[in-house]
Amino acid sequence: TAQETAEAAAETAAAAVAAAQEAADAAQEAAESAAMAMEESQPVEGETDFNATVRIAVDTATGGLDPIRAGGVAVMPHYDTLGQFDQFSKEFVQSAATFEWVDDFTAGIVNLKPGMTFHDGAPLTAADAKFTIDRVNGIGAYNDDGTAPSLYGWMVSAINDEVTVEGNLTVRVPFKTDASAFAVMGTGVRMTPKHIIEEIGDAGFANLGVGSGPFKLESFVDSDHVFSTRFEDYHVEAGSTHRVHKPWMARLEQYVRPEPVSRVAALEAGEADMTLSLGWDLSKTFEDSDDFNVLFAAGTDNWNIVFNTERPADDGTFPFRDIRVRRAINHAVNWEAIIESRGGFERRNMGIAATNIGALTEEQRAELVYEYDPDKARALLADAGYPDGFHVPFWGYASRFAGIVEGGQAIAQDLAAVGITTDFQADEHAIFRPRLGAIGDDGIHEAAGFHHYFFNTFPDPVSNINAWIDENGSISHSKADPGSNIQSLVEATRAAFDPEERAKAINALQVAIYDEAMFLFGIEQVNVGVMRKNIEWINYGARQDEFNYWGIRPTLA
């Protein structure tokens, strides 16, 4: 019968989930054993200092504390997700909740871990999970217009009906067919307290910072500091090497020092223990220091420059819709010179991911790469009807990453050399990000021209696919050409529930994206910083940024 078929499918799905979780747990055990062996082979200066305060000099902390509107150092340490990517196996694994496919992969049952609380002591329940997921999806029944001001609807784009509460700790989430639905929702959606937001609204919550993450906010002054303490009731004890856990440190103090030289001064004056995104030119002065180590953190977001194919250039034409123009742009920029100016540690970015699931092979990279060739760029522009080039805005980014403004200026100069002139303007994240996602009254992204942003480097590139590549993605300015098979390749990644088949589908999508020059592909960024020697932050595959401050281990002298 149909019921028996559905039940059998559900049992098969449940078995697959259980098997996947067992495999992920086994991978974790193996990885932790390897990590322990690595730790044993490396000298440790001292025992863990659980009472330590770690002071980090950061370049910016602005934009508020609401995770549906903002990100960065003020937000990420304080909010928890229901799942995470295992940094070794690259698989999505369960953490604050379990996830189970039901109804022939058209819905998921999410069961929260019992006993979790928000920072104010209130229990984290299924009602909070539904409320948070709805809010990320732009649904806000607590507001008069029924909407919530989310910038991150792509995280829940697979949801196709109402999320329902099935018990105190259980929600049912209806999905269209999408093998990656759990991964993007489970790792992107950060739990927020229903009882607080319904009482004080979005504006009141914007600077409150009450979450359920490993750090508890103590004080936040926009553009000045973010002070946090260890959340003693976090649901995972300290000790896991590569999955989120209760911090070893007792206190985290982040001080805003916008200029790199001011962050160096803070280190030298004993006012800071660490700084990231410093750049090689300043970091190398600490190479022989008795007190500091130079930190190289690879894979902390990759540069890509986005074209708005839906808004015209100043002359009224749509140059980015022509593949010859997009390829010309990729031939116009001397990325090797930019990489060399940044210390020479980085390499070209060639897709939506670097070493993620489905990443391009070295053979594919060698075959596909757009070599720097300004003469070829000019010829392609002329062939496309732009012998004298064209003029568009260039929206640069001025937050988080060392040298990104200078990189944007170099890109603008190289483009001008082949006839593409721009008005380069670099803005902080709080200004840049809302503009990036802003939709006009005509339903089209408002800001024309180039947008210098980044793709994240999570082990699974699903968030990049949903946000940037899908034809309905919330920040997909660069629309695929008519007749392109990119959208069908996107759907193929969602239909592939077998991990190997999905990796193949993602790889095929990446090849198509690069071949069609869907973006101006930048660099795989290396974050260079400086860290005091009594701090241990070993990269067990995890990003080393504000997402993973919990992994910092201060030691006793």
Tell me: the pLDDT tens digits for 312-325?
Answer: 999 999 999 999 99
State the pLDDT at residue 501.
Answer: 96
Q: Locate 319 and state its tokens.
A: 């140059």
Residues 217-243 as b/e (b if ≥16 CB within 10 A, e otherwise) read: beebebeebbbbbbbeebbbebebbbb
Structure tokens at 418: 């082949």
Query: Cα separation of 509 and 305, whole Å?
Result: 18
Spatial separation of the C-alpha atoms in residues 235 and 423, rounded to whole Å: 49
Burial tier of 471 (Cβ tally within 10 Å: 0-12, 13-18, 19+): exposed
Residue 402 in this model has a pLDDT that exceeds 60: yes
CA 242 to chain centroid, in Å, comes to 17
Q: For the chain, where do the domains classified as CATH 3.90.76.10 start and end?
A: 1-43+80-210
**1-43+80-210 CATH pick, 3.90.76.10, 3.60.15.10, 3.20.20.370, 3.50.50.60:** 3.90.76.10
Q: Is the CATH number 3.40.190.10 carried by domain 44-69+213-291+533-557?
A: yes
Q: Which two tokens stand for residue 179?
A: 């093998």
Q: Rounded to two decimals, what is the model's pTM? A: 0.83
Most distant CA atoms of the chain, gap in Å: 75
Q: Looking at residues 117-126, what average pLDDT do you find?
A: 99
Confidence of residue 542 (pLDDT cuts 50, 70, 90): low
Q: What is the pLDDT of residues 159-173, one digit of tens each?
A: 999 999 999 999 999
DSSP annotation of 48 reads: B
> What single DSSP character describes residue 466?
I
Identify the bridge partners of residue 127 per DSSP, sorted by sequence position. Answer: none
- Tokens for 414, please give them: 């190289």
Helix (H) or strand (E) holding 205: helix 194-205
Give residue-wise pLDDT tens across range 224-267. 999 999 999 999 999 766 689 999 999 999 999 999 999 999 99
The pLDDT of residue 11 is: 53
Output DSSP code: residue 137.
Answer: T
- Displacement of CA 445 from its chain's centroid (Å): 21
Amino acid at 410: A
Q: Is residue 17 scored above 50 in pLDDT?
A: no
Q: Which ranges in 358-516 belong to alpha helices (H)? A: 362-368, 374-383, 404-417, 429-437, 462-464, 486-495, 499-515
Name the segment(s) of the chain with CATH classification 3.40.190.10.
44-69+213-291+533-557
Spatial neighbors of 413 by CB under 8 A, at least 6 apart, are: none
Whether pLDDT at 33 is above 70: no
- Mapping DSSP to helix (H, G, I), strand (E, B) and coil, where does residue 40 land? helix
- CATH label, 300-526, candidates 3.40.50.11030, 3.10.105.10, 3.40.228.10, 3.40.50.720: 3.10.105.10
The per-residue DSSP string of 332-366 comes to H--HHHHHHHTTS--EE--SS-SSSTTPPPHHHHH
In the chain, ranges of CATH 3.10.105.10 domains: 300-526
